[in-house]
Amino acid sequence: TGLPKTSETVKKATRKLVQAYMQRYNLQQQQQQGQKYNQGSSEENNRQRTSSEEDYSEQAKNANTQTGDIIVIDLGSELNTFKRIALLDTETTGEKLGKWIVQLTQELQLPHETIHLIGQNIGAHVAGAGANEFTRLTGHKLRRVTGLDPSNIVAKGRNSLVGLARGDAEFVDAIHTSSYGMGTPIRSGDVDFYPNGPAAGVPGADNVVEATMRATRYFAESVRPGNERSFPAVPANSLKQYKQNDGFGKRAYMGIDAAYDIEGDYILQVNPKSPFGRNTP
Protein backbone atom coordinates (compact mmCIF):
# COMPACT_ATOMS: atom_id res chain seq x y z
CA THR A 1 0.00 0.00 0.00
CA GLY A 2 1.17 3.55 -0.57
CA LEU A 3 -1.41 6.00 0.79
CA PRO A 4 -2.68 6.80 4.31
CA LYS A 5 -5.08 4.07 5.40
CA THR A 6 -7.06 6.68 7.33
CA SER A 7 -8.87 7.27 4.03
CA GLU A 8 -11.92 5.03 3.68
CA THR A 9 -11.40 5.07 -0.11
CA VAL A 10 -7.87 3.69 0.31
CA LYS A 11 -8.98 1.00 2.77
CA LYS A 12 -11.85 -0.12 0.56
CA ALA A 13 -9.73 -0.38 -2.60
CA THR A 14 -6.96 -2.29 -0.83
CA ARG A 15 -9.50 -4.64 0.74
CA LYS A 16 -11.02 -5.30 -2.68
CA LEU A 17 -7.61 -6.28 -4.07
CA VAL A 18 -6.82 -8.68 -1.22
CA GLN A 19 -10.29 -10.25 -1.43
CA ALA A 20 -9.91 -10.72 -5.18
CA TYR A 21 -6.66 -12.65 -4.74
CA MET A 22 -8.18 -14.76 -1.98
CA GLN A 23 -11.11 -15.60 -4.24
CA ARG A 24 -8.70 -16.47 -7.06
CA TYR A 25 -6.54 -18.74 -4.91
CA ASN A 26 -9.54 -20.42 -3.29
CA LEU A 27 -10.91 -21.28 -6.74
CA GLN A 28 -7.55 -22.72 -7.77
CA GLN A 29 -7.54 -24.91 -4.67
CA GLN A 30 -11.05 -26.15 -5.42
CA GLN A 31 -10.08 -26.96 -9.01
CA GLN A 32 -6.98 -28.85 -7.90
CA GLN A 33 -8.93 -30.80 -5.33
CA GLY A 34 -11.50 -31.62 -8.01
CA GLN A 35 -8.77 -32.85 -10.33
CA LYS A 36 -7.34 -34.98 -7.54
CA TYR A 37 -10.78 -36.45 -6.86
CA ASN A 38 -11.38 -37.24 -10.54
CA GLN A 39 -7.97 -38.83 -10.85
CA GLY A 40 -8.63 -40.96 -7.79
CA SER A 41 -12.00 -42.05 -9.16
CA SER A 42 -10.53 -43.14 -12.50
CA GLU A 43 -7.87 -45.22 -10.77
CA GLU A 44 -10.23 -46.77 -8.28
CA ASN A 45 -10.54 -50.02 -10.20
CA ASN A 46 -6.76 -50.37 -10.51
CA ARG A 47 -5.76 -49.99 -6.91
CA GLN A 48 -7.12 -50.19 -3.40
CA ARG A 49 -8.38 -46.87 -1.98
CA THR A 50 -6.38 -45.27 0.81
CA SER A 51 -8.03 -43.96 3.96
CA SER A 52 -10.01 -40.72 3.72
CA GLU A 53 -7.52 -39.05 6.05
CA GLU A 54 -4.61 -39.86 3.73
CA ASP A 55 -6.56 -38.65 0.69
CA TYR A 56 -7.35 -35.36 2.38
CA SER A 57 -3.72 -34.81 3.41
CA GLU A 58 -2.53 -35.34 -0.16
CA GLN A 59 -5.17 -32.96 -1.53
CA ALA A 60 -4.26 -30.29 0.98
CA LYS A 61 -0.56 -30.66 0.21
CA ASN A 62 -1.15 -30.27 -3.52
CA ALA A 63 -3.48 -27.31 -3.07
CA ASN A 64 -1.09 -25.45 -0.78
CA THR A 65 1.88 -25.79 -3.10
CA GLN A 66 0.26 -24.78 -6.39
CA THR A 67 -1.75 -21.63 -5.70
CA GLY A 68 -0.08 -18.67 -4.03
CA ASP A 69 0.38 -16.45 -1.01
CA ILE A 70 -0.43 -12.78 -0.49
CA ILE A 71 1.87 -10.60 1.59
CA VAL A 72 0.64 -7.06 2.28
CA ILE A 73 3.23 -4.49 3.35
CA ASP A 74 1.21 -1.70 4.90
CA LEU A 75 3.45 1.23 4.04
CA GLY A 76 0.40 3.46 4.23
CA SER A 77 0.18 2.92 8.01
CA GLU A 78 3.46 4.85 8.35
CA LEU A 79 2.46 7.50 5.83
CA ASN A 80 -0.33 9.04 7.87
CA THR A 81 -0.01 12.47 6.24
CA PHE A 82 0.61 13.57 2.67
CA LYS A 83 3.68 15.47 3.89
CA ARG A 84 5.26 12.19 4.98
CA ILE A 85 4.46 10.73 1.57
CA ALA A 86 6.26 13.60 -0.14
CA LEU A 87 9.32 13.17 2.09
CA LEU A 88 9.56 9.38 1.75
CA ASP A 89 12.93 8.14 0.51
CA THR A 90 11.71 5.52 -1.95
CA GLU A 91 15.20 4.25 -2.76
CA THR A 92 16.19 3.53 0.85
CA THR A 93 12.81 1.99 1.62
CA GLY A 94 13.01 -0.09 -1.55
CA GLU A 95 16.47 -1.35 -0.64
CA LYS A 96 15.09 -2.67 2.64
CA LEU A 97 12.28 -4.37 0.73
CA GLY A 98 14.75 -5.94 -1.71
CA LYS A 99 16.90 -7.35 1.10
CA TRP A 100 13.82 -8.81 2.76
CA ILE A 101 12.75 -10.50 -0.49
CA VAL A 102 16.22 -12.06 -0.82
CA GLN A 103 15.89 -13.42 2.72
CA LEU A 104 12.39 -14.68 1.97
CA THR A 105 13.44 -16.57 -1.16
CA GLN A 106 16.39 -18.15 0.63
CA GLU A 107 14.59 -19.24 3.79
CA LEU A 108 11.48 -20.56 2.02
CA GLN A 109 13.29 -21.78 -1.11
CA LEU A 110 10.88 -19.60 -3.06
CA PRO A 111 11.58 -19.29 -6.81
CA HIS A 112 12.11 -15.63 -7.65
CA GLU A 113 10.30 -16.19 -10.97
CA THR A 114 7.03 -16.50 -9.06
CA ILE A 115 7.20 -13.13 -7.28
CA HIS A 116 4.92 -10.31 -8.44
CA LEU A 117 5.25 -6.97 -6.64
CA ILE A 118 2.28 -4.58 -6.74
CA GLY A 119 2.63 -1.02 -5.47
CA GLN A 120 0.06 1.75 -5.07
CA ASN A 121 0.97 5.35 -5.86
CA ILE A 122 4.34 6.08 -4.20
CA GLY A 123 4.46 2.41 -3.21
CA ALA A 124 4.96 1.63 -6.91
CA HIS A 125 8.35 3.35 -6.79
CA VAL A 126 9.26 1.48 -3.60
CA ALA A 127 8.37 -1.78 -5.37
CA GLY A 128 10.58 -0.82 -8.33
CA ALA A 129 13.49 0.05 -6.04
CA GLY A 130 12.98 -3.21 -4.15
CA ALA A 131 13.09 -5.22 -7.35
CA ASN A 132 16.27 -3.39 -8.38
CA GLU A 133 17.92 -4.15 -5.05
CA PHE A 134 16.97 -7.82 -5.38
CA THR A 135 18.67 -7.90 -8.79
CA ARG A 136 21.76 -6.15 -7.43
CA LEU A 137 22.11 -8.70 -4.63
CA THR A 138 21.27 -11.87 -6.57
CA GLY A 139 21.87 -11.18 -10.25
CA HIS A 140 18.29 -12.28 -10.98
CA LYS A 141 15.24 -10.25 -11.91
CA LEU A 142 11.83 -10.67 -10.34
CA ARG A 143 9.10 -11.76 -12.72
CA ARG A 144 6.82 -8.74 -12.55
CA VAL A 145 6.24 -5.36 -10.94
CA THR A 146 2.91 -3.57 -11.32
CA GLY A 147 2.47 0.11 -10.50
CA LEU A 148 -1.05 1.21 -9.62
CA ASP A 149 -1.19 4.90 -10.48
CA PRO A 150 2.51 5.60 -9.78
CA SER A 151 2.98 9.00 -8.17
CA ASN A 152 4.95 11.89 -9.57
CA ILE A 153 8.44 11.70 -8.10
CA VAL A 154 11.36 14.11 -8.09
CA ALA A 155 15.01 13.06 -8.32
CA LYS A 156 16.98 14.05 -5.23
CA GLY A 157 20.22 14.62 -7.14
CA ARG A 158 21.41 15.56 -10.60
CA ASN A 159 21.53 12.67 -13.08
CA SER A 160 19.95 10.30 -10.55
CA LEU A 161 17.29 7.91 -11.77
CA VAL A 162 14.48 7.23 -9.34
CA GLY A 163 11.03 5.77 -9.63
CA LEU A 164 9.43 2.74 -11.23
CA ALA A 165 10.78 2.06 -14.73
CA ARG A 166 11.08 -0.64 -17.34
CA GLY A 167 13.91 -3.00 -16.50
CA ASP A 168 13.10 -3.11 -12.79
CA ALA A 169 11.72 -6.62 -13.40
CA GLU A 170 11.32 -8.95 -16.36
CA PHE A 171 7.98 -7.24 -16.96
CA VAL A 172 6.81 -3.89 -15.62
CA ASP A 173 3.27 -2.61 -16.18
CA ALA A 174 1.54 0.49 -14.87
CA ILE A 175 -2.04 1.75 -14.71
CA HIS A 176 -2.43 5.54 -14.68
CA THR A 177 -5.74 6.89 -13.36
CA SER A 178 -4.84 10.37 -12.07
CA SER A 179 -2.05 11.49 -14.37
CA TYR A 180 -2.35 15.15 -13.41
CA GLY A 181 -3.56 14.58 -9.86
CA MET A 182 -1.70 12.30 -7.46
CA GLY A 183 -0.18 10.29 -10.31
CA THR A 184 2.00 11.01 -13.31
CA PRO A 185 1.51 10.81 -17.09
CA ILE A 186 5.14 9.75 -17.53
CA ARG A 187 5.70 6.23 -18.81
CA SER A 188 6.70 3.97 -15.94
CA GLY A 189 6.95 0.48 -17.41
CA ASP A 190 7.24 -1.73 -20.45
CA VAL A 191 3.56 -1.03 -20.96
CA ASP A 192 1.47 1.80 -19.53
CA PHE A 193 -2.33 1.74 -19.50
CA TYR A 194 -4.30 4.99 -19.48
CA PRO A 195 -8.03 4.46 -18.81
CA ASN A 196 -9.78 7.35 -20.57
CA GLY A 197 -6.41 8.61 -21.81
CA PRO A 198 -3.64 10.51 -19.97
CA ALA A 199 -5.32 13.92 -20.25
CA ALA A 200 -8.79 13.07 -18.95
CA GLY A 201 -9.92 11.95 -15.53
CA VAL A 202 -11.43 8.52 -15.00
CA PRO A 203 -15.24 8.53 -14.99
CA GLY A 204 -17.05 8.34 -11.68
CA ALA A 205 -14.17 9.53 -9.47
CA ASP A 206 -15.17 12.62 -7.48
CA ASN A 207 -11.77 13.53 -5.99
CA VAL A 208 -8.04 12.90 -6.48
CA VAL A 209 -7.83 10.15 -3.86
CA GLU A 210 -10.70 8.25 -5.44
CA ALA A 211 -9.13 8.76 -8.87
CA THR A 212 -5.74 7.38 -7.84
CA MET A 213 -7.33 4.37 -6.10
CA ARG A 214 -9.33 3.50 -9.22
CA ALA A 215 -6.15 1.83 -10.53
CA THR A 216 -6.31 -0.55 -7.57
CA ARG A 217 -10.03 -1.15 -8.11
CA TYR A 218 -9.49 -1.92 -11.81
CA PHE A 219 -6.65 -4.32 -11.10
CA ALA A 220 -8.64 -6.02 -8.34
CA GLU A 221 -11.57 -6.52 -10.70
CA SER A 222 -9.26 -8.19 -13.25
CA VAL A 223 -7.94 -10.58 -10.59
CA ARG A 224 -11.39 -11.99 -9.85
CA PRO A 225 -11.93 -15.30 -11.68
CA GLY A 226 -13.64 -14.77 -15.03
CA ASN A 227 -12.72 -11.08 -15.24
CA GLU A 228 -9.13 -11.46 -16.44
CA ARG A 229 -9.91 -9.93 -19.84
CA SER A 230 -12.47 -7.35 -18.80
CA PHE A 231 -10.25 -4.39 -19.70
CA PRO A 232 -9.29 -4.59 -23.41
CA ALA A 233 -6.99 -1.76 -24.54
CA VAL A 234 -5.31 -0.74 -27.80
CA PRO A 235 -2.18 1.30 -28.62
CA ALA A 236 -2.95 5.03 -28.74
CA ASN A 237 -1.50 8.32 -27.55
CA SER A 238 -4.79 9.90 -26.52
CA LEU A 239 -8.47 9.19 -26.03
CA LYS A 240 -9.14 11.21 -29.19
CA GLN A 241 -6.91 8.91 -31.24
CA TYR A 242 -8.55 5.91 -29.58
CA LYS A 243 -12.01 7.15 -30.61
CA GLN A 244 -10.88 8.05 -34.14
CA ASN A 245 -9.84 4.42 -34.56
CA ASP A 246 -13.09 3.25 -32.95
CA GLY A 247 -11.03 1.34 -30.41
CA PHE A 248 -9.48 -0.89 -33.07
CA GLY A 249 -5.86 -2.02 -32.94
CA LYS A 250 -3.63 -4.69 -31.48
CA ARG A 251 -5.52 -5.64 -28.35
CA ALA A 252 -3.97 -6.06 -24.93
CA TYR A 253 -5.60 -6.58 -21.57
CA MET A 254 -5.04 -4.28 -18.63
CA GLY A 255 -4.71 -6.04 -15.30
CA ILE A 256 -3.65 -9.48 -14.16
CA ASP A 257 -3.75 -10.95 -17.69
CA ALA A 258 -1.47 -8.37 -19.34
CA ALA A 259 0.78 -10.15 -21.85
CA TYR A 260 4.47 -9.95 -21.01
CA ASP A 261 5.52 -9.18 -24.58
CA ILE A 262 3.57 -5.93 -25.06
CA GLU A 263 5.17 -2.48 -25.00
CA GLY A 264 4.11 1.15 -25.24
CA ASP A 265 1.07 3.21 -24.29
CA TYR A 266 -2.41 1.67 -24.33
CA ILE A 267 -5.75 3.45 -24.06
CA LEU A 268 -9.11 2.03 -23.02
CA GLN A 269 -12.49 3.17 -21.79
CA VAL A 270 -13.99 2.07 -18.50
CA ASN A 271 -17.35 2.26 -16.78
CA PRO A 272 -17.98 4.93 -14.11
CA LYS A 273 -18.94 2.35 -11.49
CA SER A 274 -18.39 -1.32 -10.74
CA PRO A 275 -18.15 -3.42 -12.81
CA PHE A 276 -15.60 -1.07 -14.35
CA GLY A 277 -14.49 -3.31 -17.22
CA ARG A 278 -16.33 -2.94 -20.52
CA ASN A 279 -15.98 -6.69 -21.16
CA THR A 280 -17.07 -7.81 -17.70
CA PRO A 281 -19.31 -10.91 -17.91
CA 52 to CA 126: how far, in whole Å?
A: 47
- Sign of the alpha-carbon torsion through 107, 110, 111, 112: negative
In this model, does residue 4 exceed pLDDT 80? Answer: no
Task: Give the distance from CA 15 to its chain's centroid.
Answer: 14
The pLDDT of residue 63: 38
Give the residue-averaged pLDDT of 111-116: 95
In this model, does residue 80 exceed pLDDT 90? Answer: no
**In the CATH hierarchy, which fold is given to the domain comprising 8-23+70-268?**
Rossmann fold (3.40.50)
Mean pLDDT of the chain: 84
The pLDDT of residue 69: 87
In this model, does residue 71 exceed pLDDT 70? Answer: yes
Single pTM value for the model: 0.84
Percent of the chain at pLDDT exceeding 70: 80
Burial of residue 191 (number of CB atoms within 10 Å: 0-12, 13-18, 19+): buried
In this model, does residue 223 exceed pLDDT 50? Answer: yes
Closest CA to 153 of 123, 174, 130: 123
What's the farthest any 2 CA atoms get from each other in the chain?
73
| 88 or 35, which is more confident | 88
